[in-house]
Amino acid sequence: MKQVFVTGGSGFVGQNLIPMLIEQGYTVKALARSAQAIQKVEKLGATAIKGDLNDAQRLAQGVKDCETVFHLAASVDFFASEKDLRKLHVEATELLLSAAKNAGVHKFVYLSAASVIMNGRPIVHADESFVSDNIIDGYSRTKLQAENLVLQANTRHFQTVALRPPLIWGKGDPNVLPAIIDAIKKGQMQFINGGNHRLVTCHVTNVCHALMLADQKDQSGKTYFLTDGETPVFKDFIQSYVGTQGVSIPDKTVSLAAAKRIAAVMEFVWKTFRLKGHPPLYKGLVNTLGLEFITNDKRARQELGYKTFVTIEEGLNSMRK
């Protein structure tokens, strides 16, 4: 029976991945920092390893006797301090890679992010050869730095793979869906340029299947984009997404130029006066939600055997039940 170690097991992707791994016969150990996280992963069937990502001793305990590491833990925050994100994304990944290699782990699968190629301009049909010349947020910069560490660590005996999903969505989404609904309630939700641009998404089930394929296939040292295989119009997708919760979005719009100006001012004020929380609009948010963003997942489909396991329509329907 194959034993694996999962970081971020109590998060959105982790809570979907662990049951799938167990169903396929894996034995799972999962890093859990809090009592609540321990309870979550144990309820899913994993053995909890109490500790955090910067605790080398706990990481060594977690990876011991494991064949694969699934490194999912991250803070999906496009406004957070790059210094704080570097500790979580870069330094922790470096520590985990070292622990995994020392323990004789065979495969290291890293959940990166498609935003590592965002550059403040529309992106259409980009593949893995596309390199950004202008990453504007600390989240994407530190995720790319961590991804590079993972790929550079690849050897014949320690195989590493990085997956780049775009917007991860689905039932139980703790990030995007609640944030949009909250913005609607506060009267802050407006579509940038009418929301008529297209984007790619990746249902959480599709992400989890890809993670398992990355472990099972004999491919390493590469990064792979993932998508649902569709390019919906942003406005249509978001309206349908919140609509599954009985919420509707007012038909308000702001120009891209105005959104960028407002975001710059709000970001300046928040950072200058060290205000708590996030401003209603900031540059990272404009970049991720206001511009066309389409990536090509052909390599994952050809080399990993990835496919669309859940379509957008199927995913939305499952949320209405």
Can you name the CATH fold of 3-170+201-227+296-301?
Rossmann fold (3.40.50)
Instruction: Kindly indicate the confidence band of residue 157, based on its pLDDT and cuts at 50, 70 and 90.
Output: very high
User: Domain residues of the chain, as ranges?
Assistant: 3-170+201-227+296-301
176-216 confidence digits (pLDDT tens): 999 999 999 999 999 999 999 999 999 999 999 999 999 99
pTM: 0.97
Establish whether 241 is a catalytic residue. no
139, 224, 282, 306: the catalytic one is: 139
Q: What is the residue type of 107?
A: K
First to last CA, the chain: 35
Of 30, 19, 113, 27, which Cα lies nearest the Cα of 70? 30
Q: What is the tens place of the pLDDT at every residue in 209-228? A: 999 999 999 999 999 999 99
